[in-house]
Amino acid sequence: MKQLSLLCLLVLVPLLSGFDTATRSIPLDEIMAGGPPKDGIPALTNPKFVSAKNADFVKKDDRILGLFINGEAKAYPINIMNWHEIVNDTVGGKKVMVSYCPLCGTGMAFDPRIKGKLYTFGVSGLLYKSDMLMYDHETESLWSQIKQEAVTGKLTGTRLKMLNLSHTTWEGWRKKHPKTLVLSTDTGYTRNYFRDPYTAYAGSDQLMFPVGEVDDRYPTKAWVLGVTRSGKSKAYPFLELKNAPTRFKDKIGSEEIEIVYEPEFKTTHVFDKNGKEIPTLIAYWFAWTAFHPETAVYTAPPPKKP
């Protein structure tokens, strides 16, 4: 085992050479090369947008990541995010960083200001538990998307503030935000944005990279809503939500929340006891449990007898 770990480290050394790993919170031998090198998947830093009526490259059932901030709505089609994974952007006058990991199915948006300083992010080409490791251009620290924190470098342990983001269909987003802007395919890069390179992967139970012990209570890539409140986590599998009321209240620890499930668009919204929407995560089951092994799991009540 020690020989294997040493071999992994020797392979990783050149891959990690462009990043600050002197300080770290995860074992280096659990970091894996995803394939492309640093910036081999190019993050977007000056994204262009088109109006909804000119976004004919997005079909109604296509998945998008949506942000609505200070009256401005923007949609980031996953068909584009598959090829770039990170967009450094501004929405409603607020700087944001939008991220998407195709291997975990996780779209997450963050506030890139940390202690008053603005950071911009790129794609490292490295993975931790099959999830993307981002890096910031300012310190070369590596950041785990799902952990929402820096795991190597000067900023190790620093957390990112997660923003409310919708993981929904284009039809569902456009109905709510008809004046939305849409990330353009005019990215400055030559990519086939009409081909999903992860179709076979998404349709298989197989993983491309190890994540440790896999929880087999649900299919590996079953969609789940993941909610964390006051340090406690709970998963709401869509397989359970389809048998639950479309709106219901639940508790995580002592905190009451309300779940709204939109089956037509395969998406969810979660509100605190005061009716304020809170940031949540839609992910593959394996990814959620890899980072939240002690998660509670919601099960739908049995159907009422006639």
Quick one: CA dihedral 147, 153, 158, 161, positive or negative? negative
Q: What is the pLDDT of residues 281-303, one digit of tens each?
A: 999 999 999 999 999 999 998 87
Average of per-residue pLDDT across 8-13: 50
Task: Flag whether the pTM goes above 0.85.
Answer: yes
Percent of the chain with pLDDT over 70: 94
Provide the pLDDT for residue 224: 98
Average of per-residue pLDDT across 38-44: 96
Break the chain into its structural domains and give their ranges.
19-183, 222-297
Provide the pLDDT for residue 13: 54
Provide the pLDDT for residue 15: 72
Q: Is the pLDDT of residue 8 over 80?
A: no
- Residue 73, C-beta contacts closer than 8 angstroms, at least 6 positions apart: 66, 67, 173, 177, 179, 180, 181
H/E stretch holding 79 reads: helix 78-84
Provide the pLDDT for residue 306: 65
**Calpha distance 298→301 (Å, rounded):** 9
Task: Give the sheet arrangement for strand 232-237, strand by strand.
Answer: 281-284, 223-229, 232-237, 296-297
- Tell me what the pLDDT averaged over the chain comes to: 93
Instruction: Compute how many other C-beta atoms are within 10 angstroms of the C-beta atom of residue 100.
Output: 25
The tokens for 226 are 């993941």
Q: Flag the least confident range among 16-30, 61-75, 189-203, 228-242.
A: 16-30
**Calpha distance 289→216 (Å, rounded):** 10
Q: Is the pLDDT of residue 7 over 70?
A: no
Q: Is the pLDDT of residue 82 over 70?
A: yes
Residue with the two structure tokens 């359970």:
240
Rg of the chain taking only CA atoms, in angstroms: 19
